[in-house]
Amino acid sequence: MENVQVKIGFVPSYRFGFKDWCEKMRSESLDAFNKVEGLEIVTLDGSPDGEAPDAADGITPHGAVHTLDDAEAAAEYFLHQDVDGLILCPLDFGDERSAAKVAEKLQVPVLIYATKEPKVPDSPSLARTSDSYCGNLSMASALHRRGVPFHYAGLFFPEEEEFSEEIERFVRSVAVVKGLTGARIGHVGNRPATFETVAYDEIAMVNKFSQNVIHSDLAEIVINAEKVTLTGKKLDQEFHVRHTGYPGGQRKVSLRNVLNTHPERVVEHSVRGMLPKNRLGRQMYKKLKVYAGSEHAHQAQKPEVLEV
Protein backbone atom coordinates (compact mmCIF):
# COMPACT_ATOMS: atom_id res chain seq x y z
CA MET A 1 0.00 0.00 0.00
CA GLU A 2 2.43 2.59 -1.28
CA ASN A 3 1.94 6.16 0.04
CA VAL A 4 -1.01 5.14 2.25
CA GLN A 5 -0.70 6.50 5.79
CA VAL A 6 -3.65 6.71 8.15
CA LYS A 7 -4.07 7.06 11.89
CA ILE A 8 -6.72 4.79 13.42
CA GLY A 9 -7.88 4.61 17.04
CA PHE A 10 -8.38 1.18 18.66
CA VAL A 11 -11.38 0.92 21.00
CA PRO A 12 -11.42 -2.42 22.87
CA SER A 13 -14.42 -2.90 25.15
CA TYR A 14 -15.22 -5.22 28.05
CA ARG A 15 -18.14 -5.89 30.39
CA PHE A 16 -17.59 -8.71 32.88
CA GLY A 17 -14.30 -7.54 34.35
CA PHE A 18 -10.96 -7.32 32.56
CA LYS A 19 -9.86 -10.96 32.62
CA ASP A 20 -6.70 -12.56 31.26
CA TRP A 21 -8.56 -13.42 28.04
CA CYS A 22 -9.38 -9.74 27.48
CA GLU A 23 -5.73 -8.77 27.91
CA LYS A 24 -4.65 -11.56 25.55
CA MET A 25 -7.04 -10.47 22.78
CA ARG A 26 -6.14 -6.78 23.20
CA SER A 27 -2.42 -7.52 23.04
CA GLU A 28 -2.65 -9.90 20.06
CA SER A 29 -4.87 -7.45 18.17
CA LEU A 30 -2.29 -4.68 18.64
CA ASP A 31 0.44 -7.02 17.38
CA ALA A 32 -1.61 -7.67 14.24
CA PHE A 33 -2.29 -3.95 13.68
CA ASN A 34 1.39 -3.07 13.97
CA LYS A 35 2.18 -5.39 11.05
CA VAL A 36 -0.18 -3.59 8.66
CA GLU A 37 1.67 -1.27 6.29
CA GLY A 38 0.48 2.34 6.28
CA LEU A 39 -1.37 2.04 9.60
CA GLU A 40 -0.50 4.10 12.66
CA ILE A 41 -2.57 2.67 15.50
CA VAL A 42 -3.53 4.96 18.38
CA THR A 43 -4.23 3.12 21.64
CA LEU A 44 -5.50 3.87 25.10
CA ASP A 45 -3.16 3.20 28.00
CA GLY A 46 -4.19 1.50 31.22
CA SER A 47 -4.55 3.77 34.25
CA PRO A 48 -2.09 3.05 37.10
CA ASP A 49 -4.88 2.86 39.68
CA GLY A 50 -7.17 0.95 37.38
CA GLU A 51 -9.92 3.47 37.96
CA ALA A 52 -9.94 7.11 36.76
CA PRO A 53 -9.85 7.85 33.03
CA ASP A 54 -7.66 10.74 31.81
CA ALA A 55 -8.58 12.26 28.46
CA ALA A 56 -5.41 14.35 28.14
CA ASP A 57 -3.10 11.33 28.19
CA GLY A 58 -5.50 8.76 26.71
CA ILE A 59 -5.74 6.72 29.89
CA THR A 60 -8.64 4.44 30.83
CA PRO A 61 -8.87 1.38 33.08
CA HIS A 62 -6.93 -1.40 31.32
CA GLY A 63 -6.62 0.67 28.12
CA ALA A 64 -10.19 -0.17 27.10
CA VAL A 65 -13.70 1.27 27.52
CA HIS A 66 -16.18 -0.05 30.04
CA THR A 67 -18.32 2.96 31.04
CA LEU A 68 -19.61 6.18 29.51
CA ASP A 69 -16.92 8.10 31.43
CA ASP A 70 -14.31 5.92 29.71
CA ALA A 71 -15.97 6.69 26.39
CA GLU A 72 -15.88 10.46 26.96
CA ALA A 73 -12.17 10.33 27.82
CA ALA A 74 -11.36 8.07 24.85
CA ALA A 75 -13.31 10.23 22.39
CA GLU A 76 -11.61 13.42 23.58
CA TYR A 77 -8.18 11.79 23.32
CA PHE A 78 -8.82 10.44 19.81
CA LEU A 79 -10.12 13.84 18.69
CA HIS A 80 -6.93 15.44 19.98
CA GLN A 81 -4.88 12.82 18.14
CA ASP A 82 -6.85 13.59 14.95
CA VAL A 83 -7.51 9.94 14.09
CA ASP A 84 -8.88 9.11 10.63
CA GLY A 85 -10.90 6.02 11.66
CA LEU A 86 -11.81 3.69 14.51
CA ILE A 87 -11.59 -0.06 15.11
CA LEU A 88 -14.02 -1.41 17.71
CA CYS A 89 -13.83 -4.84 19.36
CA PRO A 90 -15.69 -6.40 22.31
CA LEU A 91 -13.01 -8.38 24.15
CA ASP A 92 -15.68 -10.32 25.99
CA PHE A 93 -19.35 -9.37 25.55
CA GLY A 94 -18.21 -5.76 25.66
CA ASP A 95 -20.08 -2.60 26.54
CA GLU A 96 -21.91 -1.38 23.46
CA ARG A 97 -22.89 1.98 24.98
CA SER A 98 -19.34 3.20 25.56
CA ALA A 99 -17.93 1.86 22.28
CA ALA A 100 -20.77 3.36 20.24
CA LYS A 101 -20.45 6.67 22.07
CA VAL A 102 -16.83 7.04 20.95
CA ALA A 103 -17.81 6.39 17.32
CA GLU A 104 -20.77 8.75 17.58
CA LYS A 105 -18.57 11.60 18.79
CA LEU A 106 -15.81 11.18 16.20
CA GLN A 107 -17.88 10.60 13.04
CA VAL A 108 -15.08 8.81 11.20
CA PRO A 109 -15.07 5.45 9.35
CA VAL A 110 -15.63 2.53 11.74
CA LEU A 111 -14.71 -1.16 11.57
CA ILE A 112 -15.97 -3.67 14.13
CA TYR A 113 -14.88 -7.27 14.61
CA ALA A 114 -15.33 -10.05 17.14
CA THR A 115 -12.82 -12.54 18.51
CA LYS A 116 -13.43 -16.23 18.19
CA GLU A 117 -14.34 -18.31 21.23
CA PRO A 118 -11.51 -20.30 22.84
CA LYS A 119 -11.94 -23.97 23.54
CA VAL A 120 -14.82 -24.58 25.95
CA PRO A 121 -13.54 -25.53 29.41
CA ASP A 122 -14.05 -29.15 30.38
CA SER A 123 -16.54 -28.44 33.12
CA PRO A 124 -20.26 -29.07 33.73
CA SER A 125 -21.14 -25.38 33.18
CA LEU A 126 -19.88 -25.25 29.55
CA ALA A 127 -19.58 -21.48 30.13
CA ARG A 128 -18.16 -19.38 27.31
CA THR A 129 -14.95 -17.45 27.97
CA SER A 130 -15.49 -14.64 25.50
CA ASP A 131 -19.02 -14.26 24.07
CA SER A 132 -17.50 -11.59 21.80
CA TYR A 133 -19.69 -12.46 18.83
CA CYS A 134 -22.93 -11.77 20.74
CA GLY A 135 -21.41 -8.55 22.05
CA ASN A 136 -20.55 -7.58 18.47
CA LEU A 137 -24.22 -7.87 17.52
CA SER A 138 -25.16 -5.52 20.36
CA MET A 139 -22.41 -3.10 19.35
CA ALA A 140 -23.56 -3.12 15.72
CA SER A 141 -27.12 -2.45 16.86
CA ALA A 142 -25.95 0.48 19.00
CA LEU A 143 -24.09 2.01 16.05
CA HIS A 144 -27.12 1.54 13.80
CA ARG A 145 -29.43 3.24 16.29
CA ARG A 146 -27.11 6.24 16.37
CA GLY A 147 -26.90 6.42 12.60
CA VAL A 148 -23.16 5.64 12.56
CA PRO A 149 -22.05 3.74 9.40
CA PHE A 150 -19.66 0.85 10.01
CA HIS A 151 -18.05 -2.18 8.38
CA TYR A 152 -18.38 -5.55 10.07
CA ALA A 153 -15.13 -7.42 9.38
CA GLY A 154 -16.04 -10.80 10.87
CA LEU A 155 -15.04 -13.27 13.58
CA PHE A 156 -11.31 -13.90 14.01
CA PHE A 157 -8.38 -14.75 16.15
CA PRO A 158 -6.04 -11.77 15.67
CA GLU A 159 -3.18 -13.88 14.30
CA GLU A 160 -5.27 -15.14 11.36
CA GLU A 161 -4.30 -13.96 7.88
CA GLU A 162 -7.91 -13.11 7.02
CA PHE A 163 -7.96 -10.63 9.91
CA SER A 164 -4.91 -8.77 8.57
CA GLU A 165 -6.48 -8.67 5.11
CA GLU A 166 -9.64 -7.08 6.50
CA ILE A 167 -7.61 -4.44 8.34
CA GLU A 168 -5.59 -3.69 5.19
CA ARG A 169 -8.80 -3.16 3.20
CA PHE A 170 -10.14 -0.88 5.90
CA VAL A 171 -6.91 1.15 5.92
CA ARG A 172 -7.24 1.72 2.17
CA SER A 173 -10.88 2.76 2.57
CA VAL A 174 -10.00 5.19 5.35
CA ALA A 175 -7.25 6.65 3.17
CA VAL A 176 -9.81 7.36 0.43
CA VAL A 177 -12.17 9.08 2.88
CA LYS A 178 -9.25 11.05 4.33
CA GLY A 179 -8.24 12.18 0.86
CA LEU A 180 -11.75 13.31 -0.05
CA THR A 181 -12.46 15.10 3.24
CA GLY A 182 -11.91 18.80 2.69
CA ALA A 183 -10.42 18.14 -0.75
CA ARG A 184 -10.24 20.75 -3.50
CA ILE A 185 -11.83 19.17 -6.55
CA GLY A 186 -11.92 20.90 -9.91
CA HIS A 187 -14.55 20.20 -12.53
CA VAL A 188 -12.96 20.44 -15.97
CA GLY A 189 -14.94 20.62 -19.17
CA ASN A 190 -18.58 21.02 -20.08
CA ARG A 191 -21.36 18.60 -19.23
CA PRO A 192 -23.21 17.87 -22.49
CA ALA A 193 -26.96 18.31 -22.27
CA THR A 194 -27.69 14.84 -23.67
CA PHE A 195 -25.56 12.91 -21.11
CA GLU A 196 -27.22 12.29 -17.74
CA THR A 197 -24.22 10.25 -16.63
CA VAL A 198 -22.07 13.38 -16.14
CA ALA A 199 -24.28 14.60 -13.27
CA TYR A 200 -23.18 14.47 -9.63
CA ASP A 201 -24.48 15.90 -6.37
CA GLU A 202 -22.16 18.65 -5.12
CA ILE A 203 -24.23 19.20 -1.96
CA ALA A 204 -23.96 15.51 -1.02
CA MET A 205 -20.18 15.80 -1.31
CA VAL A 206 -20.24 18.87 0.94
CA ASN A 207 -22.33 17.07 3.56
CA LYS A 208 -20.33 13.83 3.50
CA PHE A 209 -16.76 15.08 3.11
CA SER A 210 -16.85 18.69 4.46
CA GLN A 211 -15.82 20.06 1.08
CA ASN A 212 -16.27 23.60 -0.18
CA VAL A 213 -17.84 24.23 -3.57
CA ILE A 214 -15.94 27.02 -5.31
CA HIS A 215 -17.13 27.83 -8.81
CA SER A 216 -14.28 28.94 -11.06
CA ASP A 217 -14.33 29.72 -14.76
CA LEU A 218 -11.55 27.59 -16.24
CA ALA A 219 -11.11 29.85 -19.25
CA GLU A 220 -8.21 29.55 -21.67
CA ILE A 221 -6.21 32.78 -21.85
CA VAL A 222 -3.89 33.17 -24.84
CA ILE A 223 -1.42 36.05 -24.89
CA ASN A 224 1.17 37.32 -27.38
CA ALA A 225 -1.02 36.49 -30.38
CA GLU A 226 0.94 39.10 -32.35
CA LYS A 227 3.94 36.75 -32.29
CA VAL A 228 2.18 34.05 -34.31
CA THR A 229 4.28 32.86 -37.26
CA LEU A 230 3.27 30.82 -40.30
CA THR A 231 5.38 28.74 -42.68
CA GLY A 232 5.71 29.13 -46.45
CA LYS A 233 3.44 31.60 -48.23
CA LYS A 234 0.45 31.17 -45.95
CA LEU A 235 0.48 34.84 -44.92
CA ASP A 236 -0.48 35.86 -48.46
CA GLN A 237 -2.22 32.75 -49.78
CA GLU A 238 -4.68 32.15 -46.92
CA PHE A 239 -7.60 34.44 -46.21
CA HIS A 240 -10.19 35.10 -43.55
CA VAL A 241 -13.57 35.24 -45.27
CA ARG A 242 -16.71 36.83 -43.89
CA HIS A 243 -20.01 38.02 -45.31
CA THR A 244 -21.93 41.16 -44.44
CA GLY A 245 -25.26 39.50 -45.14
CA TYR A 246 -26.01 41.73 -48.10
CA PRO A 247 -25.73 40.86 -51.82
CA GLY A 248 -22.11 41.08 -52.92
CA GLY A 249 -21.06 41.43 -49.28
CA GLN A 250 -18.28 38.79 -49.19
CA ARG A 251 -15.06 40.17 -47.72
CA LYS A 252 -11.65 38.47 -47.93
CA VAL A 253 -8.63 39.58 -45.89
CA SER A 254 -5.19 37.95 -46.07
CA LEU A 255 -3.65 36.54 -42.91
CA ARG A 256 -0.87 39.13 -43.23
CA ASN A 257 -3.38 41.98 -42.94
CA VAL A 258 -5.23 40.28 -40.07
CA LEU A 259 -1.99 39.80 -38.13
CA ASN A 260 -1.10 43.46 -38.66
CA THR A 261 -4.47 44.81 -37.52
CA HIS A 262 -6.13 42.21 -35.24
CA PRO A 263 -3.65 39.38 -34.48
CA GLU A 264 -5.95 37.85 -31.84
CA ARG A 265 -8.46 36.97 -34.59
CA VAL A 266 -5.98 34.53 -36.17
CA VAL A 267 -5.91 32.41 -33.00
CA GLU A 268 -9.66 32.71 -32.45
CA HIS A 269 -10.42 31.64 -36.03
CA SER A 270 -8.06 28.66 -35.83
CA VAL A 271 -9.46 27.43 -32.50
CA ARG A 272 -13.04 27.85 -33.60
CA GLY A 273 -12.39 25.71 -36.65
CA MET A 274 -11.25 22.82 -34.42
CA LEU A 275 -14.27 22.85 -32.10
CA PRO A 276 -17.52 20.91 -32.61
CA LYS A 277 -20.05 22.74 -34.75
CA ASN A 278 -22.82 22.59 -32.17
CA ARG A 279 -23.99 24.08 -28.86
CA LEU A 280 -21.14 22.44 -26.96
CA GLY A 281 -18.58 23.97 -29.32
CA ARG A 282 -20.13 27.41 -28.89
CA GLN A 283 -19.99 27.08 -25.10
CA MET A 284 -16.35 26.04 -25.23
CA TYR A 285 -15.46 28.91 -27.56
CA LYS A 286 -16.88 31.47 -25.11
CA LYS A 287 -14.16 30.49 -22.63
CA LEU A 288 -11.34 31.45 -24.99
CA LYS A 289 -9.73 34.83 -24.28
CA VAL A 290 -7.03 35.99 -26.71
CA TYR A 291 -4.80 39.07 -26.38
CA ALA A 292 -2.33 40.48 -28.90
CA GLY A 293 0.33 41.34 -26.32
CA SER A 294 1.42 40.06 -22.91
CA GLU A 295 -1.10 42.13 -20.92
CA HIS A 296 -4.54 40.78 -20.07
CA ALA A 297 -7.42 41.58 -17.73
CA HIS A 298 -7.55 38.30 -15.78
CA GLN A 299 -4.83 38.71 -13.14
CA ALA A 300 -7.44 38.43 -10.37
CA GLN A 301 -8.20 34.85 -11.47
CA LYS A 302 -4.50 33.92 -11.03
CA PRO A 303 -4.13 31.96 -14.28
CA GLU A 304 -1.38 29.36 -14.46
CA VAL A 305 1.18 29.74 -17.26
CA LEU A 306 1.42 26.92 -19.79
CA GLU A 307 4.49 27.29 -21.97
CA VAL A 308 4.00 26.20 -25.61
Residue 157's pLDDT is 92
- Assign domain 6-180 to a CATH class: alpha beta
Residue 120's pLDDT is 67
The Cα–Cα gap between 85 and 87 comes to 7
**How far is CA 156 from each of CA 137, 163, 286, rounded to the nearest angstrom?**
15, 6, 60
Residue 119's pLDDT is 75
CB atoms within 10 A of CB 296: 14
Domains 6-180 and 220-301 equal at CATH topology level? no
Averaged pLDDT, groups of 10, the chain, 308 residues long: 80 90 92 93 84 86 92 94 95 92 95 86 66 90 94 93 94 90 68 72 78 62 78 84 88 87 86 82 82 78 65
What is the 3 state secondary structure string of 198-221?
Answer: HCCCHHHHHHHHCCCCCCCCCCEE
Question: Contact, 94 vs 138, CB < 8 A?
Answer: yes
List, for residues 127-142, the tens digit of each pLDDT value.
Answer: 677 788 888 999 999 9
Residue spans per domain, the chain? 6-180, 220-301
Is domain 220-301 given the CATH code 3.40.630.10 in the classification? no
Which is it for strands 6-13 and 85-90: parallel, antiparallel or unpaired? parallel
253 in helix, strand or coil? strand
Residue 196's pLDDT is 76
Burial of 306 (0-12, 13-18, 19+ CB in 10 A): exposed
The Cα–Cα gap between 289 and 284 comes to 11
